[in-house]
Amino acid sequence: MSLTLSKKAQAVKPSSTLAITAKAKQLRAEGKDVVGFGAGEPDFNTPENICDAAIQAIREGHTKYTPASGTVSLKQAVSKKFKEFNGLDYGVDQIVISNGGKHSLTNIFMAILNPEDEVLIPAPYWLSYPEMVKLADGVPVTVTTKKENGYKVTVDELNAAFTDKTKAIVINSPCNPTGMLYSREELQAIADFVVEKDIYLVSDEMYENLVYGDAKHISIASLGDEIYKRTITVSGVAKSYAMTGWRIGYVGASAEIAKLMSSIQSHATSNPNSIAQKATEEALLGPQETVEKMRQEFDKRRKYMYERISHMPLVSCLEPQGAFYVFVDVREVVAKKYKGEVVGSAARMAEILISDFNTAVIPCEDFAAPGHIRLSYAISMEQIEKGLDRIETFINSVE
């Protein structure tokens, strides 16, 4: 047998968001004054009480293996949070703690998919979903949403994509990259569809604490017993508690699915970091004021970004209601010429912005949204002002 490689692994696209963030970091290390709108993580430090809990955990010897799917005490904390914050009843046997939300999602797809099962993914989507589905031998099916519907999928669109191979739908609210939030009515319609078709719904609620204005986060599994049974709810501490590096995500699901996910995890990684698990208990059970402070700071930046972008020529965006991203339609810009050449794509626009304007943005081709870019406001107000000035200068220079 020759030295061939896995076809499945070779079919995986490396994450372009991480690549652009790395490029911005590299240029900064070279001394360039780069504004990075690529950030997928809060710019705040992890709150002090959470760090203290981790230090105490080390000192108290919580440094050994824990049960593979997480400690009982953390599962109890997650169960309480599900109950009080989301209105969901998940017992400890229905909860799995993993190495970040990405790991939780990967485990979910491995637990529910058989070869060729299709998963409906409303687009624009977070770019990891299709790759995760493929790694679990499933088939990702892109369901393109419309701007006039706030980039939220409708039952008609789901119906059109549904086949006898459809196994699950992914709903991400608040959404990365669009910043949109599904209302109760919209979720109810999707829930009715899921129950009628008798399929799974993977609900990615990673940004559930970062919701602004009058919008309210609703967990779809809380809408009734039938949808609860079919939903797998995912969240984590990365975005809400500025804990991206700690790598803790968690899932609430049926005990049957949780058991399968635990078995997979027990062989793949064993337990998530024991110290981070202790820190997560403090995050979920301790004071929540710092989360609210971060949310308010994001909200100020969100309003500023929306206001500025709305007044720029050739681009447009909807007012984001959640997460920390503004999703910008740049189709008119890419149709124009820069230095005598048609820009052509959001990817090319991102290249020009980084090379000629020291500004990193995320082109959304890999989010199934060509002609769009994602700007994160998880950076300081000063950086935002500077970066938007540069983007505006670029837009004013196209013809």
The reply on whether position 206 binds ligand PLP by CB under 6 A is yes
Q: Determine the residue type at 174.
A: P
The reply on whether position 249 binds ligand PLP by CB under 6 A is yes
**Binding-site member from 43, 118, 186, 204 for ligand PLP (CB under 6 A):** 204
**Binding-site member from 244, 321, 358, 359 for ligand PLP (CB under 6 A):** 244
Measured from the CB atom, is 176 or 209 closer to ligand PLP? 176
Q: How far is the CB of 279 from ligand PLP (least distance, A)?
A: 14
The reply on whether position 262 binds ligand PLP by CB under 6 A is no
Measured from the CB atom, is 208 or 319 closer to ligand PLP? 208
Cα end-to-end span (Å), the chain: 56
**Binding-site member from 36, 38, 47, 100 for ligand PLP (CB under 6 A):** 100
The reply on whether position 152 binds ligand PLP by CB under 6 A is no
Q: How far is the CB of 348 from ligand PLP (least distance, A)?
A: 24
Write the CA distances from 355 to 17, 27, 213, 221, integer angstroms. 17, 10, 36, 45
SS3 label, residue 98: strand
Size of interface with ligand PLP, in residues (CB under 6 A): 13
Helices 381-397 and 289-310, packing angle to 10 deg = 20
Q: How far is the CB of 389 from ligand PLP (least distance, A)?
A: 27
Q: Which residues, 21 to 60, sit near ligand PLP by CB under 6 A?
A: 40
Contact 78/284 with Cβ under 8 angstroms?
A: yes
The reply on whether position 284 binds ligand PLP by CB under 6 A is no
Measured from the CB atom, is 97 or 350 closer to ligand PLP? 97
Give kind and range of the element (H or E) at residue 359: strand 359-360
- Of 95-103, 150-158, 183-191, 362-370, which segment contacts ligand PLP by CB under 6 A? 95-103
| Pairing relationship of beta strands 139-144 and 325-329 according to DSSP bridges | unpaired
Measured from the CB atom, is 367 or 394 closer to ligand PLP? 367
Q: How far apart are CA 142 and CA 122, in angstroms?
A: 6
- Of 24-32, 97-105, 135-143, 281-289, which segment contacts ligand PLP by CB under 6 A? 97-105
The reply on whether position 122 binds ligand PLP by CB under 6 A is no
Q: Residue 362 CB: number of other CB atoms within 10 A? A: 29
**Binding-site member from 46, 86, 176, 271 for ligand PLP (CB under 6 A):** 176
Q: How far apart are CA 50 and CA 176, in angstroms?
A: 26
Q: How far apart are CA 130 and CA 132, in angstroms?
A: 5
Contact 316/169 with Cβ under 8 angstroms?
A: no
Q: How far apart are CA 73 and CA 95, in angstroms?
A: 11
Give kind and range of the element (H or E) at residue 188: helix 184-197
For 326, phi then psi, to 5°, come to -115, 130
Kindly list the residues in this chain that would bind ligand PLP in the complex (CB under 6 A): 40, 100-102, 126, 172, 176, 204, 206, 236, 238, 244, 249
